[in-house]
Amino acid sequence: MNTPWYRSRFAIVFFHILAWVVLFSLPLLFHREPDQTRLNWNAILNPRSLIFDACCILFFYLNSGVLIPRFLNRKKIGVYITIIIFLFIVFLNLLNIIPMQGHKRGIQRESFFAIFPYLFIWAMSTVYWFVTDKIKTEQLLKEKENENLKTELSFLRSQVSPHFLFNVLNNMVAMARLKSDQLEPSLIRLSGLMRYMLYESDEASVTLLRETEYVNSYIELQKIRYAKTLNIRVDMDPGDNQLIEPMLLIPFIENAFKHGTGAIADPVIEISLKIAEGLIDFRVKNKYDPANEEIKDRTSGIGLPNVIRRLNLLYDQKHILSIKKEIGWFMVSLQIKLH
């Protein structure tokens, strides 16, 4: 995951330095020379002011980086308050190393007015810790959620491959029993499909061109089996360099071959894929006879529920999926917005 530039270490250090420079430059606005044309740099560059600035910076990071995490955040409130009071006393003593003009060395009554900037720095430091801690917590939760999604997607992909391979091997068994001369070219195509499944389907995304090549190989494999009984119409735009989740389209096509053949009279399967203005329009249509619907086995339900879940995870608000049965046809329509 790429870190935004404003969260980089360099940017954070720069913003902190800028904030301190702006804060400690404020006295310049209220301490001008009598002629009102020159800034009184002595207001912020005298030794007492520099000690004050150094104490504020040190206290800010000591409170946010050490005291709150180790004491306040662990419910050690008494210890935390004691340390804050002790640090204020140290703060007063450090300020009075160089007394105010017209005052003697040592803690004077006026020195206790330093409690107001001290409390201001304490408040800013505390708010800073709570804000950064909340951001870190949200970031960790987001990273954990992303890891959980990756794990679930990996599991869903691992379900697709065995289910798909199981169906293809059944086709091979049928060819072997018939001693078909198409068995050898089918095995060659199957090796190409397995290469894709093993070495490319684990990627977060693949080009649409590569995915359509995989789909076409599967269709050609099925054509060998159903060449004489099935009318297959395919019109697929391979696209350019658009990226898509691997093995996302195949379950719909596999489902069409599974339920659109067999006892269906004059079976027809129509597959189309169009791309326009960053929108994928994918459609699969096959003849469907409710009277001849086979009883599903335990694994037949893996394909469509699997791909629906993957679509919801990856393209939550960027896809529209429609699955319906109408006048003897089973139709799937999927639109995915890529941008």
Q: According to the per-residue pLDDT averaged within each range, which of 130-134, 143-147, 158-162, 187-191 is highest?
A: 130-134
DSSP state of 300: T
pLDDT of residue 177 exceeding 50, the answer is yes
* pLDDT band (50, 70, 90) for residue 283: very high
- Mean pLDDT (whole number) for 293-303: 50
pLDDT of residue 285 exceeding 90, the answer is yes
* pLDDT band (50, 70, 90) for residue 156: low
Kindly report the pTM of this predicted structure: 0.55
- Mean pLDDT in the chain? 78
In 3D, which of 47, 51, 160 has the Cα closest to residue 95?
A: 51
Question: Which residue stretches of the chain are H helix?
Answer: 9-25, 27-30, 42-45, 47-62, 68-70, 77-95, 115-178, 183-199, 208-226, 250-259, 303-314
Written as one string, the DSSP assignment of 161-229 is HHHHHHHHHHHHHHHHHHT-TTHHHHHHHHHHHHHHHHHTTTSS-EEHHHHHHHHHHHHHHHHHHHTTT
pLDDT of residue 127: 94
pLDDT of residue 271: 94
Considering only CA atoms, give the Rg of the chain: 35
- Residue with the larger pLDDT of the pair 78 and 51: 78
pLDDT of residue 298: 44
Place of tokens 């893996």: 302
Q: Where are the domains of the chain?
A: 5-140, 180-337
**For 308-325, what is each residue's pLDDT tens digit?**
888 888 888 889 999 998
How are beta strands 329-337 and 319-326 bridged, if at all? Answer: antiparallel
CATH fold group of domain 180-337: Heat Shock Protein 90 (3.30.565)
